[in-house]
Amino acid sequence: MNYELLYSEQLEKALNGALTITEISELIEKPSYVDQGDLAFPCFQLAKKLKKSPVMIANELAPLIKGEVIEKVEANGPYVNCFLNKKVVSKQVIDIVLNQGKEYGNKVLEKEKTIVIDCSSPNIAKPFSMGHIRSTMIGNSIGKIAEKNGYKAIKVNHLGDWGTQFGKLIVAYKLWGNEESVKANPIKELLKLYVKFHEEVKQLPNLEEEARSWFKQLEEKNEEAIIIWQWFREESLKEFMMVYDLLGVEFDSFNGEAFYNDKMDRIIKLLEEKELLVESEGADVVEMVEKDLPPCLIRKSDGATLYATRDLAAALYRKETYDFDKAVYVVGGEQALHFNQVFTVLNKMGFTWSENMVHVPFGLILQDGKKMSTRKGKIVLLEKVIEEAISLANKNIAEKNPSLNNKEEVAEMVGVGAIIFQDLKNDRMNNFEFSLEKMLKFEGETGPYVQYSFARTNSILSKADNPDLSKQDGLDDTYSWEIIKLLLEFPNKVTRSFDQFEPSIIAKYTIDLAQAFNKYYGNTHILTNDDQLESRLALVKTVSTILEEGLRLLGIRSPKEM
């Protein structure tokens, strides 16, 4: 129900065509204070047209505004303030949310559209570090929010599974590796071998040449090289999948860099046909002076292709495979120039769909004010951080609710949810300080606080004796009204979070809703058996539904008990 539109329609009638309904809608504001009503219309813009002061216009307009959902309208200086009828509006809003359930806020498009989301993308044979969580979770949430906005979301994990490091790894494995050790602990063993190679090469420089030779054999599809490389990739992926399972993240494609090896020649041929390739110091580049960008390097002087060539091939493949309407790359801000160049080259090639490709950058995770990539020279493993979070959540639950059923499962939901929420509640571009202790608190702006609020709604509903929520007749108290206004906001938040690729809009909304609900809970005897019991329980049910759905859009599970 759009109450702003209803108010705009009343104002349009009263103004008798002085402003269009669109102009009126754009002017309507939400007052800063509760005693100023629910909607406010400023009259400054009408002063010139009507040749009257804004205060006089407001005084003349106020008595003309009427409607079933409007309780009263009053002039307040140059503003026409509208007070909605709490009882009528809350009944309507609660009914809508009860009827639509988790589909409340869903957008239905005339034609299904597709969005491709490139996110996570760890390097094979290297540890899955904390550095990858932002791309992974922001991308995962954007996918869920896109689906709520009517899109089909395709999540692509563009693995770093190619490059000269694999020549080094093959050499290291053949010299010092052990099959059983790699199978038992792939990432740890492969990283150990990679480090050993770099130590040994100082004494044995010929190892570098050997590594180049093995990578060349890999490029030429030498059977032994391919078998070893595929094995490294599969073993690494198994370990990555353990982390993805803990995070509750799934992908539609794991096509990494290697997948595009045989697709880059086509790009070069197309660039040549369109006469876009220019020779520069022996290399082939695409000039983009018109965009004030440095040239995009396509092929080195030795014939080797580069990241840009690969990303151009990937973009073309994804367009032809998925026929996307939008494509987003959830990749750190340091890659801004690279993506600007790639999108510009595609545009110069005549691919106008490149205008619907977006780089979605993000800020850093900090620890003690510094980039969280190392701790005493060691990589901070995401899996270890998740284990620690689950263990801390277990400890918190043991203290607060030792008799809780499914303690282990709930601890996992809370621990993992806390990490994800801490990441997503921050504006995407902001850096944020990492602290497990703070993010696992059951109070404040944390994941556990929102999850606990959801669990509380379930606890209340479970104590009620099968109420008939269809009998609800609306509420008119101040505390329930704050919840109703927030419920009205949810569809708009869903749209905005998608338009801006900004999951923090949903995360902050869940905090606001949880706080409003807890204030209501603290000031209302919800289970009192009177004529408003069904209405109060119906309100609790709507809060429960929207909190669960909000957390789902962030990729967080909601325990029914905590």
How confident is the model at residue 372, as a pLDDT?
Answer: 62
Q: Which amino acid is it at 69?
A: V
Percent of the chain with pLDDT over 70: 98
Contact 556, 451 (CB under 8 A): yes
> Of 106-115, 167-176, 317-326, 371-380, where does mean pLDDT reach its minimum?
371-380
CA gap 128, 121 in Å, rounded: 10
- Judge whether residue 474 has pLDDT over 90: yes
How confident is the model at residue 551, as a pLDDT?
Answer: 98
Domain 3-84 sits in CATH 3.30.1360.70: yes
- Distances in whole angstroms, Cα of residue 254 to Cα of each of 120, 232, 286, 485: 10, 15, 29, 42
Nearest in space to 173 (alpha carbons), one of 190, 195, 198: 190
How confident is the model at residue 1, as a pLDDT?
Answer: 75
| Token reading at 323 | 């026929």
How confident is the model at residue 374, as a pLDDT?
Answer: 42
Mean residue pLDDT across the chain: 93
CA gap 546, 457 in Å, rounded: 11
How confident is the model at residue 226, as a pLDDT?
Answer: 96
Mean pLDDT of 106-127: 94
Mean pLDDT of 124-134: 87
- Judge whether residue 282 has pLDDT over 90: no
Mean pLDDT of 379-403: 88
* Exposure string for 347-385, b = 16+ CB within 10 A, e = fewer: bbbebebbeebebbbbebbeeeeeebeeeeeebbbbbeb
Q: Which residue has the tokens 């809370």?
A: 414
Report the sign of the C-alpha dihedral through residues 440, 445, 451, 457, in that order.
positive
CA gap 123, 20 in Å, rounded: 56
Check residue 18 and report its DSSP letter. S
> Of 144-158, 303-317, 490-504, where does mean pLDDT reach its minimum?
303-317
How confident is the model at residue 379, as a pLDDT?
Answer: 62
Mean pLDDT of 97-124: 96
How confident is the model at residue 302, as a pLDDT?
Answer: 74
How confident is the model at residue 90, as a pLDDT?
Answer: 98
How confident is the model at residue 128, as a pLDDT?
Answer: 85
| Token reading at 510 | 């869940």
- Judge whether residue 377 has pLDDT over 60: no
Domain ranges of the chain: 3-84, 163-248, 381-554
Q: Residue 40 pairs with which residues in a beta bridge?
A: 29, 81
How confident is the model at residue 443, as a pLDDT?
Answer: 86
How confident is the model at residue 367, as a pLDDT?
Answer: 76
Confidence at 376, pLDDT banded by 50, 70, 90: very low
Mean pLDDT of 103-124: 96
Check residue 376 and report its DSSP letter. T
- More confident call, 367 vs 255: 255
Contact 158, 256 (CB under 8 A): yes
pTM (predicted TM-score): 0.93
**Cβ atoms within 10 Å, residue 471:** 12
| Domain 381-554 homologous superfamily, CATH | Isoleucyl-tRNA Synthetase; Domain 1 (1.10.730.10)
Confidence at 375, pLDDT banded by 50, 70, 90: very low
Could you give the 3-state DSSP secondary structure of residue 104? coil
Mean pLDDT of 80-102: 97
Percent of the chain with pLDDT over 90: 82
